[in-house]
């Protein structure tokens, strides 16, 4: 971390977005993570995405568990709502918040330890229920905060800084998310800002459970030779299936692309994800094919990144439960507590 405050001066030519904010208005406190931590890069990508989407900061809620990754919501969106909960419990807290106020944009930030170890059950149910949220796992293959023990996503055969080799097989959170019913699934790398920013924007605009597994090197404990989550290793093995070049609003004119080169996916709100294909046969709307493809490429030693799956017309938890449209904090006492007669009538309906 740094001891001097980040100066208030800004580039005199800094752009402002449609609601009058500059990118730096979406920053948070200065990070206390290790210098060079991949997690800081992800924070910066979130800042950039929210700036580009013209999001009013007070419409965003950030929730997290425990870990270096889970600390990061302090370092971005300083003007948004935030809740730092117990280890592995971000999904249930976020689900509750979302049920109470469906109007906010929910950003769940977690780590591989937080989500794949102690919070695996929470992760699974939140995906399965299709809570409308962005779920980002900042995946470094270790418990960074507790000094670098292997986490459940560490690859078999990966070497720890002290030389120990991981004998266990890893949990692939992308495979799990696909299998459990997440409706937007992507993988990226903290060191590839150009890929990550559009993915975060797409995940935010997506309605449903949008999961991003973001490989994020831990410079303190997992960035050495023998690590499979280091800058060098990920750069060498990264194979993107597609490039999400732009997200455009409803009815915008499309840029010129050769036919077959580009795929456009229209989401529920009319926004369009424009994907430039890199793997010709890859279809991000085919969940089963995606799962097979991922397994094949993993066996070949590749780290597949990009938009891996989208269900553009997904139904979320509120749709499933047929909840009231209005956030609870906007309902009056009478609507929230309709009284004994209403209860009696309801019970009678179940007899």
Residues of this chain that bind ligand SF4 (CB under 6 A): 33-34, 36-37, 39, 68, 140, 144-145, 218-221
Give the integer Cα–Cα distance in Å for 331 and 260: 49
Q: Please, which residue, 84 or 323, has the CB nearer to ligand TPP? A: 84
Tell me if 13 contacts other proteins by CB under 8 A.
Answer: yes
Helix (H) or strand (E) holding 310: strand 303-310
Of these partners, other proteins, Mg ion, ligand SF4, none, which one is at the site of residue 39 (CB under 5 to 8 Å by kind)?
ligand SF4
Stretch binding other proteins (CB under 8 A), from 27-35, 181-189, 322-330, 334-342: 27-35
Tell me if 35 contacts other proteins by CB under 8 A.
Answer: yes
> What's the closest the beta carbon of residue 23 comes to other proteins, in angstroms?
8
Helices (H) and strands (E) in the chain, counts: 12, 13
Pick from 25, 27, 52, 112 the residue near Mg ion by CB under 5 A: 112
> What's the closest the beta carbon of residue 148 comes to ligand SF4, in angstroms?
7
Tell me if 12 contacts other proteins by CB under 8 A.
Answer: yes
Of these partners, ligand SF4, ligand TPP, other proteins, none, which one is at the site of residue 221 (CB under 5 to 8 Å by kind)?
ligand SF4
DSSP letters, 28-89, are: -SPP-SPTT-HHHHHHHHHHHHHHHTT--GGGEEEEE-SSHHHHGGGGB-TTSEEEE-STT-
Tokens in use for 207?
Answer: 């309605």
Q: Which one, of 289, 255, 291, lies nearest residue 272 by Cα? A: 255
Tell me if 224 contacts other proteins by CB under 8 A.
Answer: no
Distances (CA, A) of 275 to 43, 255, 272, 278, 282: 24, 12, 9, 9, 11
Q: Please, which residue, 2 or 347, has the CB nearer to ligand SF4? A: 2
């Amino acid at each position: 971390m740094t001891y001097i405050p980040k100066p208030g001066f800004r580039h005199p030519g800094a752009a402002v977005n449609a609601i009058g904010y500059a990118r730096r208005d979406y920053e948070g406190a200065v990070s206390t993570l290790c210098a060079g931590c991949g997690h800081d890069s992800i924070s910066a990508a979130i800042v950039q995405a929210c700036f580009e989407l013209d999001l009013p900061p007070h419409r965003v809620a950030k929730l997290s568990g425990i870990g270096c990754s889970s600390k990061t919501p302090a370092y971005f969106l300083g003007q948004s709502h935030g809740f730092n909960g117990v280890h592995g419990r971000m999904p249930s807290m976020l689900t509750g918040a979302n049920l109470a106020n469906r109007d906010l944009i929910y950003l769940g930030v977690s780590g591989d330890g937080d989500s794949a170890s102690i919070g695996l059950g929470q992760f699974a149910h939140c995906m399965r229920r299709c809570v409308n949220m962005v779920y980002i796992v900042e995946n470094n293959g270790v418990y960074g905060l507790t000094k670098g023990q292997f986490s459940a996503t560490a690859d078999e055969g990966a070497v720890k800084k002290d030389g120990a080799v991981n004998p266990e097989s890893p949990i692939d959170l992308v495979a799990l998310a696909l299998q459990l019913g997440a409706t937007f699934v992507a993988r990226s790398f903290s060191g590839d800002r150009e890929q990550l920013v559009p993915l975060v924007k797409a995940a935010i605009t997506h309605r449903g459970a949008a999961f991003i597994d973001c490989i994020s090197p831990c410079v303190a404990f997992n960035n050495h030779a023998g690590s499979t989550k280091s800058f060098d290793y990920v750069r060498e093995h990264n194979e993107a299936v597609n490039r999400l070049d732009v997200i455009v609003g409803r009815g915008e004119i499309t840029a010129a692309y050769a036919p077959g080169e580009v795929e456009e996916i229209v989401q529920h709100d009319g926004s369009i994800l424009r994907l430039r294909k890199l793997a010709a046969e890859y279809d991000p709307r085919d969940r089963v094919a995606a799962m097979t493809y991922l397994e094949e490429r993993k066996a070949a030693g590749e780290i597949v990144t990009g938009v891996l799956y989208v269900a553009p017309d997904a139904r979320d938890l509120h749709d499933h439960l047929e909840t009231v449209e209005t956030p609870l904090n906007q309902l009056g006492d009478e609507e929230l507590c309709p009284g004994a007669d209403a209860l009696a009538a309801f019970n009678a309906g179940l007899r």
